[in-house]
């Protein structure tokens, strides 16, 4: 079997809030959770496990590849929710999206302060 990405733990200030934020944004159903984790599972089977570590959370970057329709709905959810977003990772173009790599992209911060990117075309 070739190597595939299976799961990651995402540090959260409030694991329930972060999992709900991503479930609603990415339109994925609830997944079984256990122990210190609140889980969501993406359509390709990748499990995102949200946990509240007993340390200061360091910002991480997570990028999600979406189809055009889901991207449109997700951007509308960001606007409706008052989530500040940018066209660039340097946060110099607020309220915009980009049209790079033959698609569209947007950057924003999740409830824990992680830098999130949504794109409609992969970089490679």
Question: Given this model, what pLDDT does residue 84 score?
Answer: 98
Q: Tell me: the pLDDT tens digits for 82-105?
A: 999 999 999 999 999 999 999 999
Question: Given this model, what pLDDT does residue 71 score?
Answer: 98
The residues of the chain scoring below 50 in pLDDT are: none
CA distance 34 to 124: 35
Burial class (CB within 10 angstroms; exposed 0-12, middle 13-18, buried 19+) of 48: buried
Question: Given this model, what pLDDT does residue 32 score?
Answer: 97
CA distance 80 to 52: 27
Question: Given this model, what pLDDT does residue 65 score?
Answer: 98
Question: Given this model, what pLDDT does residue 16 score?
Answer: 98
Question: Given this model, what pLDDT does residue 28 score?
Answer: 97
Question: Given this model, what pLDDT does residue 118 score?
Answer: 98
**Alpha helices (H) in 63-108, listed in sequence order:** 68-80
């Amino acid at each position: 079997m070739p190597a595939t990405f299976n799961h990651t733990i995402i540090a959260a200030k409030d694991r329930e809030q972060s999992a709900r934020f991503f479930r609603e944004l990415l339109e994925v159903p609830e997944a079984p959770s256990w122990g210190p984790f609140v889980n969501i599972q993406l359509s390709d089977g990748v499990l995102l496990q949200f946990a509240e570590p007993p340390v200061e959370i360091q910002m991480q970057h997570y990028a999600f590849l979406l189809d055009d329709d889901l991207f449109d709905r997700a951007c509308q959810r960001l606007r409706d929710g008052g989530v500040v977003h940018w066209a660039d990772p340097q946060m110099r173009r607020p309220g915009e999206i980009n049209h790079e790599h033959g698609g569209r992209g947007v950057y924003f911060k999740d409830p824990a302060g992680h830098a999130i990117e949504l794109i409609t075309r992969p970089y490679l």
